[in-house]
Amino acid sequence: MISPETTTVTTSYTTFDSPLGELLLVGEESVTAPGGTALTFLSMPQQRGVTVQPHWRRDPVSFAEAVRQLRVYFAGELTRFELAFRTAGTEFQERVWRALDAIPYGTTTTYGRLADVAGVPRGDVRALGAAIGANPLLILRPCHRVIGADGTMRGYAAGVERKIALLTHEGALQPTLI
């Protein structure tokens, strides 16, 4: 009996000090991605669900292009990321995440409008919200650009204050004067 071949995927990570705190970038080997690594997660402080695992390899070199683009973004000189992603959501989540990719820099949209773009019936807007909340690529897939129909800042996996900071950085919100 021949045993099936198993493919071992190497997961690597690095961290990046950003204006929003330390970001954790996680990726998997990919022959088509710049630096040989496709991003699978980008998380921020206080975000639940992603922690460095003992078997992951720290490898800042593999994330050099992602870190470069994030630096340029935070400097106000980049409005669209050009990076290789590899996510493992359900078909529904992936559809919602692709709709997030279409929200232009410096703008916001509502959950209802995003549901229309993603082809999600209005009765399933809670499922849409759950899919947005499960977005593994914060900042890169701009779930921070989705707001309530009344203009309120709804939840954000890394905290509403970071959502407001990102929207202000992108010019979608005016800075608050104190």
Q: Active-site residue among 143, 147, 158, 166?
A: 143
Residue 45 appears among annotated catalytic residues: no
More confident residue, 25 or 45: 25
Selection from 86, 95, 85, 73 nearest residue 139 by Cα: 73
Q: Mean pLDDT for the chain?
A: 91
- Sequence-ordered list of residues with C-beta below 8 angstroms from that of 102, at least 6 positions apart, any chain: 117
Helix (H) or strand (E) holding 17: strand 11-18
DSSP, residue by residue, 142-169:
-GGGEE-TTS-----TT-HHHHHHHHHH
Gap between the Cα atoms of 61 and 36, Å rounded: 10
Question: Residues 106-116: pLDDT tens digits?
Answer: 999 999 999 99
Residue 171: is its pLDDT beyond 90?
yes
Helices (H), 12-159: 64-74, 91-101, 111-118, 125-133
- Sequence-ordered list of residues with C-beta below 8 angstroms from that of 147, at least 6 positions apart, any chain: 108, 109, 110, 153, 154
pTM: 0.90
Residue whose structure tokens are 């009344």: 150
Gap between the Cα atoms of 71 and 56, Å rounded: 24
Question: Residues 38-95: pLDDT tens digits?
Answer: 999 999 987 877 789 999 999 999 999 999 999 999 999 999 999 999 999 999 999 9
Gap between the Cα atoms of 100 and 81, Å rounded: 13
Split at pLDDT 50, 70, 90, the class of 3 is very low
Pairing mode, strands 109-110 and 146-147 = parallel
